[in-house]
Structure 1
């Protein structure tokens, strides 16, 4: 099989890093993009991926930095994985304009700017875009207004591209992971670690106690799902949201009271 050219935003850590490892192992040419040079260079050294330090959320970065560096190696983009993102936390009345815009930029603007920049190449190659959403694309956690709003919007962006560009051979899909053991999720465990003196693993076990599989995913498990949706095996799949959450969203929340041991001090 001919090697593909795969662009991954947020490619220095977490799911993006796992995708870089997997796709380079498959023999694909991988370009990883991120704002922090050090983790990108580490992944590039480990995998042979090409690191591009830039902000994927701006048109200027794409036109002046990212696309020119990609074009030094290839004129074709076959797959775009929009993985860049960050948390956006706080109560509605406490979030400043700056914090709100930060959350939108990191999660939504980066996905849109990346898709807009790569679509001409993807039309030419009849490639596909995979957006990394979250179960926060489908439901709301407490006091994460920026993150939840942006991740919901990711699904609308994906569906719009699937509708408008499908006739030109471009597929667009999204995955919605639940808890995944990534550096960002590790930070989210910190309040529980501080409050209950948990270890990191105990904190993950605690947040997954009502998840049917009772554990978080590994980044590699999410990357394997990305592999499928970006492959020829998924050639008829577009406009689809694949939930990868250990069964979390299958749970009927009002019935948790009837779960054995659900009443806690």
Structure 2
């Protein structure tokens, strides 16, 4: 199989995009390690994909170092790090206190920084890849998501810095920016949006938020996993420092012209 014998570490690997990434690599024969703070979701991915779970906070330096040590002791190498952990930061600046700000940056940025730092020696030895999962919020600003937006923007800077400094050592680093993806976290947001907007269902909410997306639908986690797998493989051997947008075309839409489209012009 295409990824047979490779060792892949996925942070935030228990649910949503992270779990889909774990399954994609496992299906191709890789040894997959899923890292997260909650044991129950990791156990489910272990059962469904055969992944090795490690309960740890990826933003904690000692915990991240211990993750790397455990992976090396068990598998002997690290070929791919997928920095997927994230969350927090869903408020505007004026409603974000110091604790919430720190939590947002810790979840969305520090997790990737710390895990990359601790895994770099092993990745250099393997001439491996880092794939950073940012977001469309890493390129644009949505309403009332200041901490999340800043953290996801910063991930792109981290991607470019790592690619610039470690390309000479054979390590490639790229970022993926998904748009709406139908995950448990997004489902919760859709339920809240549906209730607020008076929509009949979660599906109606997804339809509303993707009405101006060229593909007119959210992504499935497996579709984002396919992009991550490409970047974390030899098939992307001359790509580094890139930001790959997987958003159904959202980023190409000229917002001021949406009114023309709705008017049938």
Band of TM-score, shorter chain = over 0.9
Question: Residue 189 of structure 2 corresponds to which residue in structure 1?
Answer: 188
Alignment of 1:60-209 (within 5 A): 60-63=62-65, 65-195=66-196, 196-209=198-211
Q: CA deviation at 1:191?
A: 2.6
Quick one: which of 239, 242, 257 aligns to 1:240?
Answer: 242
RMSD (CA atoms): 1.2
Q: Deviations over 1:11-49 (max 9, x none)?
A: 000111001111001000000000000000010011111
Question: Residue 57 of structure 2 corresponds to which residue in structure 1?
Answer: 55
The DSSP-based 3-state class of the residue aligned with 1:185 is helix
Question: Residue 36 of structure 1 corresponds to which residue in structure 2?
Answer: 38
Q: 1:192, 1:198 within 8 Å by CA — same for their partners in 2?
A: no
* Residue segments in structure 2 that go unaligned for 5+ positions in a row: none
Aligned length: 261
The DSSP-based 3-state class of the residue aligned with 2:75 is coil
**Cα distance in structure 1, aligned partners of 2:263 and 2:202:** 23
* Consecutive aligned runs of 4 or more in structure 1 exceeding 4 Å deviation: none
Question: Residue 212 of structure 1 corresponds to which residue in structure 2?
Answer: 214
Q: CA deviation at 1:214?
A: 0.5
Q: Deviations over 1:55-108 (max 9, x none)?
A: 001101122x31232133122100000000003111211111000011000000
Q: CA deviation at 1:240?
A: 0.2
Q: CA deviation at 1:231?
A: 1.3
86-95 or 128-137: which moved more?
Answer: 86-95
Q: 2:130, 2:172 within 8 Å by CA — same for their partners in 1?
A: yes
**Cα distance in structure 1, aligned partners of 2:175 and 2:88:** 18
Q: TM-score, normalised by structure 1?
A: 0.96
Q: 1:9, 1:33 within 8 Å by CA — same for their partners in 2?
A: yes
Question: Residue 260 of structure 1 corresponds to which residue in structure 2?
Answer: 262
**Cα distance in structure 2, aligned partners of 1:82 and 1:224:** 15
**Cα distance in structure 1, aligned partners of 2:170 and 2:249:** 32
Q: 2:108, 2:152 within 8 Å by CA — same for their partners in 1?
A: yes
**Cα distance in structure 1, aligned partners of 2:144 and 2:199:** 23
